[in-house]
């Protein structure tokens, strides 16, 4: 019996993503000037207002207002009619020192004994149904909004777009869990005001189907292009008018899009958000590490699909446990428990070693804060930062290190593949 599976994404202009991007910009700026910074910062955005809150231990001092305004400007909130605009919004900072009670559980005289920044369980997932080992529905949902943002910035083929948008893709799978077709696509995009609502809706639907969809289809590999057909059900701005959007239309908070950030509902999620947290917080670093494990296992041929769980006690370096679920797709003649034992030998999951292996004490987080933390391109980029005292710093960093397939050979050796 065939079945349907759905995932959603949200654009960089969605209010929750605005909050995530501001929080991660603060993380990057702290780490750029002090790699040992401990940061947990949350952002709230609403009509004409940004509120920053959180705990920080760092040797550097930042102009947090400038950082927040730069993020908002880059996203595209640059017009007063949006009721949330980079130059005029109020910014309130309530950031204060990190609790020593928490810090004593993390810092150690021997860095290798660094404890986990919190308790909890984190999950990583990978599947071979796409080239980037991500679930197909989520991958397409992200691609739709990345292309929509590109069209907005180009301002040529579609000239009425505003920054806020959401997408949703439903895929039909057969009994063998292979994608058969795209069943439906939902896109809600903020837009400039039109004189007549009916004309507006017809124009937006036509442009999405005739301009956006072909661009996304062309960017997918040939065997997936066949999933696009003329039977797709399109729901384009299904509520009608969407002029009021962004932080004016809906309050945004850091960490409210954790399923969009990970696997779109496939696999599992431990509940902890990523954005605004330095890598001593295992909510973030261990989630990246488990994705790294899952992707390398699938790429090595251990299984077609892998879910990895790791768990921690606050202040303790060694994980409480590592769990593997191959969903019955293992190819190595081992139980999932036996696979987990081998994974423990290959990947050191103590927090310090995760940070070192994935180069997490670098300012690499702004790029993660929209369109998903997983399935992204591993690349080296140059970034420039400015301290409150006028100091300028340019750093070269490697992004999305957890997406590297650098452990495939080790996995194959351990599993005899």
Question: What is the b/e burial string over 186-197, where b = at least 16 CB atoms within 10 angstroms of the residue's CB?
Answer: bbbbbbeeeeee
Nearest to 50 by CA among 251, 298, 293: 251
**Among 190, 225, 244, which residue terminates a domain?**
244
Query: Is 83 inside a domain boundary?
Result: no
Q: Given this model, what pLDDT does residue 202 score? A: 96
Sign for the pseudo-dihedral over CA of 135, 136, 139, 145: negative
pLDDT tens by residue, 367-407? 999 999 999 999 999 999 988 888 899 999 999 999 999 99
List residues bridging with 101 in a β-sheet: none
Please report, for the domain that includes residue 347, its CATH number: 3.30.300.10
Confidence of residue 350 (pLDDT cuts 50, 70, 90): very high
pLDDT at 97 over 90: no
Q: Given this model, what pLDDT does residue 388 score? A: 85
67 vs 70: CA distance, rounded Å: 5
314 and 402, same domain (yes or no): yes
Query: Is 264 inside a domain boundary?
Result: no
CA 36-39-47 angle, to 5 degrees, is 145
Query: Is 314 inside a domain boundary?
Result: yes
285 and 410, same domain (yes or no): yes
Whether this prediction's pTM lies above 0.75 is answered by yes
- Of residues 284 and 198, the one with the higher pLDDT is 284
Alpha-carbon distances of 170 from 45, 65, 189, 263, 386, rounded to whole Å: 30, 40, 18, 14, 43
282 vs 124: CA distance, rounded Å: 13
Q: Given this model, what pLDDT does residue 118 score? A: 86
292 and 411, same domain (yes or no): yes
Query: Is 239 inside a domain boundary?
Result: yes
pLDDT tens by residue, 102-143? 555 566 567 777 888 889 999 999 999 999 999 999 999 999
What is the Cα Rg of the chain in Å? 22
295 and 411, same domain (yes or no): yes
237 and 350, same domain (yes or no): no
Place of tokens 């004309």: 199
Q: Given this model, what pLDDT does residue 226 score? A: 94
Confidence of residue 71 (pLDDT cuts 50, 70, 90): very high
* Domain containing residue 372: 120-128+280-415
Residue pair 135/4 in contact by the 8 Å Cβ criterion:
no
Query: Is 320 inside a domain boundary?
Result: yes
Residue pair 42/254 in contact by the 8 Å Cβ criterion:
yes
* Residue 250 counted as an annotated binding residue: yes
* Residue 206 counted as an annotated binding residue: no
* Residue 406 counted as an annotated binding residue: no
Q: Given this model, what pLDDT does residue 101 score? A: 56
Question: What is the total count of domains within the chain?
Answer: 2
pLDDT at 35 over 70: yes
Q: Given this model, what pLDDT does residue 403 score? A: 98
Nearest to 13 by CA among 68, 64, 73: 73
**Among 244, 262, 289, which residue terminates a domain?**
244
392 and 296, same domain (yes or no): yes
Q: Given this model, what pLDDT does residue 100 score? A: 66
* Residue 330 counted as an annotated binding residue: no
Mean pLDDT of 204-232: 95
* Residue 404 counted as an annotated binding residue: no
Structure tokens at 26: 């603060």
* Residue 241 counted as an annotated binding residue: yes
pLDDT tens by residue, 317-340? 999 999 999 999 999 999 999 999
Phi-psi domain of 177 (left: phi exceeds 0; alpha: psi -120 through 50; beta: other): left
Q: Given this model, what pLDDT does residue 103 score? A: 58
148 vs 340: CA distance, rounded Å: 41
Q: Given this model, what pLDDT does residue 110 score? A: 73
Between β-strands 90-97 and 49-57, what pairing exists: parallel, antiparallel or unpaired? parallel
Q: Given this model, what pLDDT does residue 399 score? A: 98
43 vs 401: CA distance, rounded Å: 26
Q: What is the mean pLDDT of the chain?
A: 95
pLDDT at 198 over 70: yes
pLDDT at 253 over 80: yes
Q: Given this model, what pLDDT does residue 390 score? A: 84
3-state secondary structure the chain: CCEEEEEEEECCCCHHHHHHHHHHHHHHHHHHHCCCCEEEEEEEEECCEEEEEEEEECCCCCCHHHHHHHHHHHHCCCCHHHCCCCCCCEEEEEEEECCHHHHCCCCCCCHHHCCECCCEEEEEEEECCCCCCCCHHHHHHHHHHHHHHHHHHHCCCCCCEEEEEEEEEEEEECCCCCEEEEEEEEEEEEECCCCCHHHHHHHHHHHHHHHHHHHHHHCCCHHHHCCCCCCCEEEECCCCCCCCCHHHHCCEECCCCHHHHCCCCCCCCCCCCCCCECCCCHHHHHHHHHHHHHHHHHHHCCECEEEEEEEECECCCCCCEEEEECCCCECCCCCHHHHHHHHHHHCCCCHHHHHHHHCCCCCCCHHHCCCCCCCCCCEEEEEEEECCCCCEEEEEEEECHHHCCCCHHHHHHHHCC
303 and 351, same domain (yes or no): yes
124 and 157, same domain (yes or no): no
Q: Given this model, what pLDDT does residue 104 score? A: 56
* Residue 369 counted as an annotated binding residue: no
Nearby residues of 372 by Cβ (< 8 Å), 6 or more positions away:
9, 134, 138, 142, 260, 261, 262
Q: Given this model, what pLDDT does residue 387 score? A: 86
pLDDT at 98 over 90: no
165 and 217, same domain (yes or no): yes
287 and 405, same domain (yes or no): yes
Mean pLDDT of 253-274: 97
* Residue 165 counted as an annotated binding residue: yes
* Residue 391 counted as an annotated binding residue: no
Q: Given this model, what pLDDT does residue 111 score? A: 75
* Residue 59 counted as an annotated binding residue: no
Mean pLDDT of 309-324: 96
Query: Is 254 inside a domain boundary?
Result: no
Query: Is 66 inside a domain boundary?
Result: no
Q: Given this model, what pLDDT does residue 184 score? A: 98
308 and 388, same domain (yes or no): yes
Mean pLDDT of 150-160: 97
411 and 328, same domain (yes or no): yes
Structure tokens at 246: 């962004």
* Residue 281 counted as an annotated binding residue: yes
pLDDT at 254 over 60: yes
pLDDT at 195 over 90: no
Share of the chain above pLDDT 70, in %: 97
* Residue 55 counted as an annotated binding residue: yes
Q: Given this model, what pLDDT does residue 102 score? A: 55
CA 361-97-398 angle, to 5 degrees, is 15
* Residue 257 counted as an annotated binding residue: yes
Mean pLDDT of 303-308: 98
Query: Is 54 inside a domain boundary?
Result: no
**Among 194, 224, 244, which residue terminates a domain?**
244
Q: Given this model, what pLDDT does residue 31 score? A: 97
């Amino acid at each position: 019996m065939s079945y349907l599976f759905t995932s959603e994404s949200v654009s960089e202009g969605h209010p929750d993503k605005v909050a995530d991007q501001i929080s991660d910009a603060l993380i990057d700026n702290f780490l750029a000037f002090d790699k040992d910074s401990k940061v947990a910062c949350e952002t709230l955005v609403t009509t004409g207002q940004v509120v920053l809150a959180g705990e920080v231990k760092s040797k550097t001092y930042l102009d947090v207002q400038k950082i927040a305004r730069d993020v908002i400007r880059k996203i595209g909130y640059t017009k007063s009619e949006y009721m949330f605009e980079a130059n005029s919004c109020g910014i309130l900072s309530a950031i204060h020192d990190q609790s020593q009670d928490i810090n004593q559980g993390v810092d150690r005289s021997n860095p290798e004994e660094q404890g986990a920044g919190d308790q909890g369980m984190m999950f990583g997932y990978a599947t071979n149904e796409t080239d980037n080992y991500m679930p197909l529905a989520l991958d397409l949902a992200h691609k739709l909004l990345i292309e929509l943002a590109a069209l907005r910035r180009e301002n040529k083929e579609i000239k009425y777009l505003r920054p806020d948008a959401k997408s949703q893709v439903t895929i039909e799978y057969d009994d063998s869990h292979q994608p058969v077709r795209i069943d439906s696509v939902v896109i809600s995009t903020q837009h400039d005001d039109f004189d007549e609502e009916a004309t507006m809706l017809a124009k937006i639907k036509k442009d999405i189907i005739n301009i956006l969809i072909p661009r996304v289809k062309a960017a997918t590999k040939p065997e997936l292009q066949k999933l696009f057909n003329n039977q797709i059900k399109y729901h384009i701005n299904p509520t009608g008018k969407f002029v009021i959007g962004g932080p004016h239309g809906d309050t945004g908070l850091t960490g409210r899009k954790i399923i969009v950030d990970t696997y779109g509902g496939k696999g599992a999620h431990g509940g902890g958000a990523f954005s605004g947290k330095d890598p001593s917080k295992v909510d973030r670093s261990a989630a990246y590490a488990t994705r790294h494990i899952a992707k390398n296992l699938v790429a090595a041929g251990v299984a077609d699909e892998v879910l990895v769980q790791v768990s921690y006690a606050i202040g303790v370096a060694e994980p409480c446990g590592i769990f593997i679920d191959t969903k019955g797709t293992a190819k190595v003649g081992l139980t999932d428990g036996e696979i987990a034992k081998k994974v423990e030998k290959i990947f050191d999951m103590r927090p310090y070693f995760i940070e070192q292996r994935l180069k997490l004490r670098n300012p690499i987080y702004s790029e993660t804060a929209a369109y998903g933390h997983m399935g992204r391109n591993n690349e080296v980029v140059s970034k420039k930062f400015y301290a409150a005292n006028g100091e300028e710093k340019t750093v070269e960093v490697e992004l999305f290190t957890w997406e590297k397939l650098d452990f495939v050979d080790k996995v194959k050796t351990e599993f005899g593949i």
